[in-house]
Amino acid sequence: MPPVARLKTVLLFSTLMLIPDATSAQIGGSAAQNVTLTVQPILRLQVSGNPDPLVVTQAVAGSELTAVQDTKTRYSLVTNLDNVKIVASINQGMPAGTTLTLALGSTRGTGRGAVNISNATSPLEVVTNIRKGADKDQTITYTFGALSSAGQISAVSRIVTLTLTN
């Protein structure tokens, strides 16, 4: 082959190498995936800490019951269910002549007011009819009452369990 023809062949081959291959641009693949999505029931309750000690230090003359209160702790909740509730229980009964009541504020449900949990080793409802959504920084009110017949009581502790349930 003459040198000019060889040069034309090399140039033609080089030019063809630079032209994109139309068939390779159209060759490709696709894949399909089946994605399963689920939202499970969410029942989340959190408290801000423990209340201050409830200490009866004074009495009102002529009054049989003396009570003290703590409203410093808060609770928050989130749920994706309707008609849930908060129940409360205590790990053991209160000493004779004393009471412990619990009241929870709520913007998403119905508070039951001051619920006497003194002997609630089985859960008692404290907020009912809670709707889907979040309830943030709601007040927890503990009231400790002592009758004069209770006498002096050394410091005792009780564990109060709050449960968000349906």
> Which run of H or of E encompasses 12?
helix 3-18
**pLDDT per position as a tens digit, 17-58:** 555 555 555 678 999 999 999 999 999 999 999 999 999 988
Residue 65 is predicted with a pLDDT of: 79
pLDDT tops 80 at residue 118: yes
**% the chain with pLDDT above 70:** 83
Q: Is the pTM of this model over 0.75?
A: yes
**pLDDT per position as a tens digit, 80-113:** 999 999 999 999 999 999 999 999 999 999 999 9
**pLDDT per position as a tens digit, 3-19:** 544 444 444 444 445 55
Report how far residue 124's alpha carbon sits from residue 106's, in angstroms, rounded to the nearest whole number: 16
Residue 45 is predicted with a pLDDT of: 98
Report how far residue 92's alpha carbon sits from residue 159's, in angstroms, rounded to the nearest whole number: 8
Task: State the sign of the Cα–Cα–Cα–Cα dihedral 40, 82, 87, 106.
Answer: positive
Domain ranges within the chain, ordered by starting residue:
66-148+158-165
Half-sphere exposure of 59 toward its Cβ, with a 13 Å CA cutoff? 13
Q: 134: closest CA among 107, 113, 161? A: 107
Please provide residue 127's backbone torsions phi and psi, each rounded to the nearest 5 degrees: -140, 130
